[in-house]
């Protein structure tokens, strides 16, 4: 029988973070797991109900002057780097692990996890409700349309939208 265990409630204090810059705002309901693996730069906003799911296997780095919207879910087991001057819209998910597909040999939930980093370069805007999957780099100045599912790299200064996200124009 599979037995699940709690990861805790994500309550934290600033002192527990690996790094927290000046003028960082955490709105009500923000949760951070493994805060010792989370680094946050100066002048960062983290919206109501955001979940920063740190992990002992990877670091989460959020750059200066970045805005993290309400209800965002950031996962960093594979490593997550968000640059400076980035906007992450409400309800965005960035996920750095997936289950390895072993076919029908075992239930997918029992298969090993595979980790891959996400890198969001400087001056990117990630639209509301987007999902960014493991192994993706979003280039500097790119714009991700609302609701996009980003499964592969997005070049700098382009606009990508859709499911799966595709480049629809250059900025």
Q: 31-40: long-range contacts (C-beta < 8 A, 24 or more apart)?
A: 33/7, 33/8, 37/76, 38/62, 38/76
Minimal CA–CA distance to 16: which of 35, 41, 39, 37? 35
Quote the tokens at residue 81. Answer: 């780097």
Q: Active site includes 48?
A: no
Cα separation, 81 vs 138, in Å, equals 10
User: What does the longest C-alpha to C-alpha distance in the chain come to?
Assistant: 52
Instruction: Tell me the CA distances in angstroms from 75 to 25, 51, 104, one per residue in order.
Output: 20, 8, 27
Active-site residue numbers? Answer: 99
């Amino acid at each position: 029988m599979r037995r699940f265990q709690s990861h805790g409630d994500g309550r934290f204090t600033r002192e527990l973070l690996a790094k927290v810059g000046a003028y960082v705002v955490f709105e009500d309901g923000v949760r951070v797991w493994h805060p010792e693996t989370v680094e946050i730069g100066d002048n960062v906003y983290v919206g109501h109900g955001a979940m920063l799911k740190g992990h002992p296997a990877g670091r989460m780095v959020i750059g200066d002057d970045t805005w993290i919207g309400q209800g965002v879910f950031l996962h960093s087991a594979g490593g997550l780097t968000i640059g400076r001057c980035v906007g992450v819209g409400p309800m965005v998910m960035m996920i750095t692990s997936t289950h390895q597909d072993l076919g029908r040999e075992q239930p997918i939930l029992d298969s090993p996890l595979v980790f891959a980093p996400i890198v969001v370069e400087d001056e990117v805007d990630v639209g509301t409700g987007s999902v960014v999957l493991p192994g993706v780099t979003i280039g500097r100045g790119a714009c991700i349309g609302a609701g996009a599912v980003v499964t592969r790299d997005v070049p700098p200064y382009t606009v990508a939208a859709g499911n799966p996200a595709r480049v629809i124009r250059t900025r």
